[in-house]
Amino acid sequence: MFNQENKRLLLQGNEAIAYGALAAGCRFFAGYPITPATEISEMLATMLPQVGGTFVQMEDEIASMGAIIGASLAGEKTMTATSGPGFSLMQENLGYACIAEVPCVVVNVMRGGPSTGLPTCPSQGDVQMARWGTHGDHPIIVMAVSSVSDSFSITIKAFNLSEQYRVPVVLLSDEVVAHTRECVQLPDQKSIRVVDRIRPSVPPDWYKPYEGDNRGVPHMAAFGDGYRHHVTGLVHDEYGFPTQKPNEVQQFQNRLTKKITRGFSEIMMTKGFMLEDAEIAVIAYGSVARSALKAVEDARKQGVKVGLLQLITLFPFPRSHVSPLLEQCRAVLVPEMNMGQISREVQRVNQNKCVVAKHNRIDGQFITPNEIYAQLIKL
């Protein structure tokens, strides 16, 4: 892409997301600028036209979401990027993408909230909103990035999962990761694993647009491919038309949930550091995972047996990775730049196996390693 492969580049987290999107095959972006996510739009506004893609600056965020849903139904891989206030506005159409099973990636670079909050300060306050912001039981995947190289590679994974499961993926970054510049070497495009949605192979007359395959994922025809189909936000049958028949509704809802639960082992991603003999663990994600890693390394030097579990997938909550750790350790610490949105998930999985301690900061400042270290040695 742009002859930048294998070259050392100094990139911001936001810029790396833009590069990641292009490497994953994103060719349509619609968005509305907002601090601290604007650089993603700025980059893609220049880069997309050069690869035959389309960039649209929309009138607002709900329209941005509408535009990427439309473009995805027309066969493109699509993305939008925003921050808290814009993410609030996207929720209605995000629900539409969930029920109509439209693959798309929504980047939310978190800043201090609620409302316009603290535009230039970091936060992790949108974690539960990313999972439950739109109404109704719905499947969704939420992932978090913690560095510039993550921002590139996890963006690609987000696109792949979105295409594979026909589900919107929310990619959470935060002001620290978004604006940190680090050197990265972008891999050769050929070495990147890119997944595309499965298109129907049956004749158009046989096509049932919402019939799941053995994984529960329907094959997706693009508008214009010759497969006529209906798309609606109402609960629909296998043909895509509204239904209220309890058995059809039940079957539909089950399939939506199950297509994700069947993929758990692939969707749930974490990274472990020094966990083999750990008696205490820190569970962290996003930029805070970096502070946590420093604290863990410092505590190790003092002989404390501590490790770090960094969550990459936040939802579905990676319980199969967290649960064994709760059995192994006598205590875990969950530092977050919110009031405890993931520590609540950890506690839910915990079932009194070990002590779950929190460290929360909501003053718009980044959590430092010293703070985590001070909490750690008390456990």
Phi, psi (degrees; rounded to nearest 5) at 312? -100, -50
- Minimal distance, residue 263 CB to another protein, in Å: 31
Between 174 and 345, whose beta carbon lies closer to another protein? 174
- Minimal distance, residue 363 CB to another protein, in Å: 13
Between 183 and 202, whose beta carbon lies closer to another protein? 183
- Minimal distance, residue 8 CB to another protein, in Å: 5
Structure tokens at 21: 């999107």
- Considering only residues 71-130, where is the footprint of another protein by CB under 8 A? 119-120
- Minimal distance, residue 169 CB to another protein, in Å: 25
Between 146 and 350, whose beta carbon lies closer to another protein? 146
Alpha-carbon distance values, 66 to 73, 94, 162, 288, 352 (Å): 11, 9, 17, 32, 44
Angle between helices 13-24 and 38-50 (to 10 degrees): 40
Of the candidate residues 176, 186, 314, 337, the single one contacting another protein (CB under 8 A):
176
Between 18 and 65, whose beta carbon lies closer to another protein? 18
Chain CA centroid to CA 226, Å: 32
- Considering only residues 203-232, where is the footprint of another protein by CB under 8 A? none
**Nearest-angstrom CA–CA distance, 24 and 14:** 15
Structure tokens at 310: 């960094």
Between 70 and 364, whose beta carbon lies closer to another protein? 364
- Minimal distance, residue 289 CB to another protein, in Å: 9
Beta bridge partners of 356: 332
Of the candidate residues 182, 225, 237, 238, the single one contacting another protein (CB under 8 A):
182
- Minimal distance, residue 142 CB to another protein, in Å: 23
- The DSSP secondary structure of 166-215, one letter per residue, reads T-EEEEEEEHHHHH-EEEEEPPPGGGS----PPPP-S-GGG--TT-B-TT
Q: Is 82 helix (H, G, I), strand (E, B) or coil?
A: strand
**Total binding residues toward another protein, as defined by CB under 8 A:** 27
Mapped to the 3 state alphabet, what secondary structure does 310-342 carry? EECEEECCCHHHHHHHHHHCCEEEEEECCCCCC
With binding defined as CB under 8 A, does residue 180 bind another protein?
yes
Between 120 and 232, whose beta carbon lies closer to another protein? 120
- Minimal distance, residue 287 CB to another protein, in Å: 7
Chain CA centroid to CA 236, Å: 26
Between 148 and 220, whose beta carbon lies closer to another protein? 148
Q: Are 279 and 306 in contact (CB under 8 A)?
A: yes
Q: Is 370 helix (H, G, I), strand (E, B) or coil?
A: helix
Structure tokens at 249: 């509704």
- Considering only residues 265-304, where is the footprint of another protein by CB under 8 A? 287, 290-291, 293-294, 297-299, 301-302
Q: Would you give the binding string for another protein spanning residues 7-36, x where CB under 8 A is met?
A: -xxx------------------------x-
- Minimal distance, residue 379 CB to another protein, in Å: 16
Of the candidate residues 4, 50, 114, 183, the single one contacting another protein (CB under 8 A):
183
Query: Which of 195, 179, 366, 199 is CA-nearest to residue 266?
Result: 195
Of the candidate residues 179, 258, 319, 330, the single one contacting another protein (CB under 8 A):
179
- Minimal distance, residue 290 CB to another protein, in Å: 5
**CA angle at 209 for the pair 207 and 215, rounded to the nearest 5°:** 105
Which residues form the interface with another protein (CB under 8 A)?
8-10, 35, 119-120, 176, 179-183, 287, 290-291, 293-294, 297-299, 301-302, 366, 368-370, 373
